[in-house]
Structure 1
């Protein structure tokens, strides 16, 4: 990272070095073959910088965010060499160029400064902005926005990063970096919301590795996933693998994400290639998606990624706590104007978000003209429904039309799109924009340009995207959005939107989007069309589509066919198809058939039909045990239910405990019901809380029900409200029901976008 240094300092404070080496300018690290000479020169430059600014060591310590002892030892001729993190902090506080100072430090340790064939480049040669650390908001001056400690920034230059405040997650990162310096390979992914400081924390953490000659590799071109997969086998010892926004690597389509996860696992477990340090960042929603166990009947899309992330995540808070704010205030008093300005204007401890320009982004959106706001809402809806990062302009233009009222649309001028684009692409603090044009380099092959090859594409600002996920979560996109998606988006985007349309009961668009995906050869689309056909009673058409998908190798289609045969009374055909699916690795069919037979058996028992008990034991149980043997944990839950209904409570609990130990949260719900039946309310609530903490949305309703049964209506409502605030739609309905029963007529539900009956006031 380059930090502005006054010309006077460069000329007048290096006299000793110039006279000693006769360079007539700044001294290069090649002039210092002797580590002792390099350390002496390093301290001379730091001391000269301190004198130039008229700071004593105590003032310098406050300004750099360091302890007084650390500064004293860094400048003392009798102490050991300072760490790279200390040198970096002092350089920023003294407005010195950090690269030459870290290069001198590398010469002290004798670490090599470059390597011709290794991936990446030395850490000291990286600029944090090139690693996607967010530019910080400037400080307002009479002439506009300037920088932090260094004053105004010239045209074309970015404000320097403000002083860094260490928090709890930094200690965990430091422990991993220490392990890396001791020769142990490590990986960690920082999980936090947009603009919470994930990338900056990673940047600060790797600074100590610079003095040991470590390199940093950021796979990026032609796409992140392709670059990672192409070169990860070349990663060698003492390399930081930088996976910022790791969803672009681990969540890459076409199986790329799973292959990257497998390659990372191979890297982490190969002693000959270590030590390496793999650093990644993720938003919480991506981390949840990648680590969640698949629901019954759903494909397991991220098994390797889930294994890779297990035990390798560090959570970042959305805001600074009291201790961290105290440290920020100390740095502000010591002269960091960026932090001082942020303290005056941030809210609820969200300091990093302000520095990244988030409040201005939201203000610009909320005050945008109707055409500009329509473009942004179309972009927000596209991203929250999992359309790719790069949104084609042709899509945005067409989609925006129904976001305008009739009067707004009728009064559009002929160049409305150009005016709206000029408005939304204007940069705000920190050089962020509501929408940013994505430009492909002329040297980039056409095959890698994706949607940009068909025309201009734009990317929505990260923070605005996350703002839209919250503010528009109950809003369903209008017809022009789905129409534009059908005609203007890629096949992978169409698949995501088909799911979204189906979930929002937009069956017409779900059908046509799935049909377009199926026409392009997507067998998953065929299975979804099968469900839609079956839902409207077209069993013949549904079975024809399922056969088509099964012939293409889709095991889920085999499971669907097995269900159809079972419902039609063809148990022999159902068993054959279910076993065929299981042999291909899909055990869900066995579980589904067993569940259907359990329901049929329950009806037989109720009707006192002969042989019901034998069918219960020999039919459904056999299927479930085979499915469980194949690793299907939900089959264990069904088996526990079956055994419990048959009166074998001990066997049921043993099987449910086995499922719970594998991470199945439905097993926790089953065990909670058993404890409730036994009158052990405390243990039942503990199990339900475990399930809720693990992300099981059904647990909230059962927790509320349990609280109501013991007479704690206030506690039940508090649980429902907390879950509703976290985005749990089932909890919204529960909250509405409780308020209605309490005679409050939906009081307060407007904040969630619900009417007094608990229904969405606008379709979501």
Structure 2
């Protein structure tokens, strides 16, 4: 049994043409004589199918195969097995000049990949970052052509199949893109393991700021710098991300610094975010001002955030004021949120007042929320008015809800009257609900009456239910009677 690369097999088994100009005997005569007698030649494909990969993964016994499976780009496991370990060995053993310079480039590429750099790596980035991975002595010994030599070394193929830094194909057309590389999959996996807790050196961050492109990549790198307590680098990258179109980068830093207890740094980042057009920056500033006791400043920033479309800060401040007993302040903030097209704040405040037993205030706030365009408070308001004995007010509110596109309030009121024994009012309200296009109201009431034995009343409601757009109503009544064995 033997293994050969395809090109080598072809060289060894192809007979030399007659009249070949080369002098001397056929150099592959004996190898060809042996190989042409092979009983079986298995040609391994360049990449494996998904079913083969699943079968390989199910074995789970050989650590080398498992590593190759998870570290191979485009399912090219054979190439990883042939060169992956050698690539890692070359990287680990490259400690002295000139090999250490290629190692520095590869180390920078490893850190970039594990920190989320998902684009091709520019040669300029690798060159500028490399100094951080070298000792003073190694940097001193570097000659003028160190980078050209190191890059060529890192791009040299091992076993003729894989290099530490591989070329990147053009987006269209043929050939490789100039001046960029990508890290070999096996070394990417190796770097994530051996450099998991390593903090990239300062030249790495400076090179990233100089060469990284795209708002998303810059924001990711900023987040990674902040997580490693590299505030200056994080701010610089966040500023670049904002300039590239990611207006949330500074807000992200503000939130991270707030969680870390750096309120001054958080406020500085939040101001940069709001200056850059991110309303969440104003919201963060509002929370920070509120925590610092500057309630006026907090409201001012919350209003700015709401004016830009983010009403979270107003709602949050409203809840804090309500909990602190500042009822007038809470209502003022809820009204501001409603003016900013978020009437839900008024509804939530009404619910909070209702839970404390302040029904009068709750009714008023539910009404304000409904008047501001929130359909959800109508049901609560109808129930509240009915329980307080204001039946006329409840029906008037149900009519307003139907006019606003919420006919179910009529149905809710119909069920309340039904439970109170006022079937005449329940039927009248169910008919109003049907007229307001709640097509199930009459059928639901008809089914209730059918269950309680009022067959005549159920039939009386089933016919107009069908006319109101619920054709199943008569059929459902017949089905219920058949289940009871009635004709």
TM-score (structure 1 length as normaliser): 0.32
- Which protein has the bigger helix share? 2
Larger-Rg structure: 2
TM-score, length of structure 2 as denominator length: 0.48
